[in-house]
Amino acid sequence: MKPVDFAKAAGVAILLLVLNVLIATLVILFYSLVIEPGHPHEFYNEAALRIAPWCSHIFGTALFFVAGYWLSKRRPDRHSYLFATAFTLIYVLIDAATVGFVGIINLEFAISNLAKLLASLAGAFLATRQGSSRSGQVDLGPQNA
């Protein structure tokens, strides 16, 4: 990978972090308006502490799969696995830095980010696998039935 690819990976990591926070915010908003309306503000602050991590575990992992897949399809000439690993590790670093590296050394943080790494690599794998199977096909022309 070129140095510019690492800068692009940082941009992808920031975008994924923003999307992850946006999704968590929307889920918490939905919870406050539809599932448990009418409670004081403190109730929702407390609920957010439980809901937000699970949004990151579930939707964040899905985002990483989609990013690994889409970015590998978009640029098949780039090393897909290295790029997926780069944007995931940069994401982890930025995510940890946003909380001042407090509380990141725990099993939940490790498993969540390992799941994101595996998801981004799985997306890259699927994209490169589909790309190689298509490029290996031979066009035989019209088939007679």
Per-residue pLDDT tens over the stretch 45-96 = 999 999 999 999 999 999 999 999 999 999 888 899 999 999 999 999 999 9
* Domains of the chain by residue range: 3-130
pLDDT the model gives residue 133: 60
Q: How far apart are CA 100 and CA 131, in angstroms?
A: 40
What are the tens digits of pLDDT across the range 99-139?
888 878 899 999 999 999 999 999 999 999 986 665 554 43
The answer to whether residues 80 and 72 touch, using CB atoms and an 8 Å cutoff, is yes
Q: How many CB atoms lie within 10 A of CB 52?
A: 17
Encode pLDDT of 19-35 as tens digits.
999 999 999 999 999 99
- Higher per-residue confidence, 37 vs 130: 37
